Amino acid sequence: MPPVTHAVVLIKAERAALRDLGGRLAELDGVGEAYSVTGEWDFVAILRVQRTEDLAAVVAERLAALDGIERTYTMVAFEAFSRHDLEAMFSIGS
């Protein structure tokens, strides 16, 4: 399986979109999870795509097409770590 490119997108929503934007984000191809959050940003979307070039399609086309998004801030991940991956790695041979 080819490596997966991950990105984190912070999303500021228009007030009228707060109620349903999370569900619409989660339905987009390329969005692994969407979270409503507190603070300056309203949502965080975790993107997972097969190729780095696919990020442009997700952010510039799919996210941009959604009504209710005021602005976004995208961060591409160099590496992805999770508790599950680390636990599996350290359990090898035990």
Domain residues of the chain, as ranges?
5-90
Write the burial class of residue 22 (CB in 10 Å: 0-12 exposed, 13-18 middle, 19+ buried): buried
pLDDT tens digits, 24-76: 999 999 999 999 999 999 999 999 999 888 999 999 999 989 999 999 999 99
Model pLDDT for residues 7-17, shown as the tens digit of each residue: 999 999 999 99
What was the pLDDT predicted at 2? 64
- Beta-carbon neighbour count of residue 65 at 10 Å? 9
Q: For the full predicted model, state whether its pTM sits above 0.85.
A: no
Write the class of the CATH domain 5-90. alpha beta
Q: Is it the case that residue 22 has pLDDT exceeding 60?
A: yes
